[in-house]
Copies of this chain bind each other. A is one copy, B any other.
């Protein structure tokens, strides 16, 4: 688990720190990350938060995302530096939940919550895009 995945690396997202139940990722908004309004695409912010969640939850053993929610607060402009910090809210036998804050220099731009299934029996997971 030395992540992030190729998909996320291709977006310019980097791991700043990762440990047991936590992760901190960073990225800078590039022209190719913008939506048709000229701001960072919500999916780019999601990828940043979701990968922080994936690293944090997989640090506890194999797990796959099942339920996520994300609230968007502030628009983000090209060139802005973003940081996503994932922290563990609950670690159960069968599932775990993480909260991820995404911040720019202007403050909290988005909040993500993710719940993952755990495969504590060592069974190979079906992917972070769901699967049982």
Contacts and interface: CB of A to CB of B under 8 A. Distances in A.
Interface of A: 1, 3-8, 10, 31-47, 50-51, 54, 62, 64-76, 89-90, 92-95, 97, 99, 108-111, 113, 115, 117, 125-132
B75 A129 contact: yes
Given A67-B115, A75-B127, A113-B113, 6 more contacts: A6-B34, A8-B43, A10-B32, A66-B95, A72-B130, A75-B131
5 contacts: A67-B69, A67-B72, A76-B129, A89-B108, A97-B111
- State the copy count for this chain: 4
- Say what secondary structure dominates the interface of chain A: mixed
A46 to B, nearest CB: 5
A64 B72 contact: yes
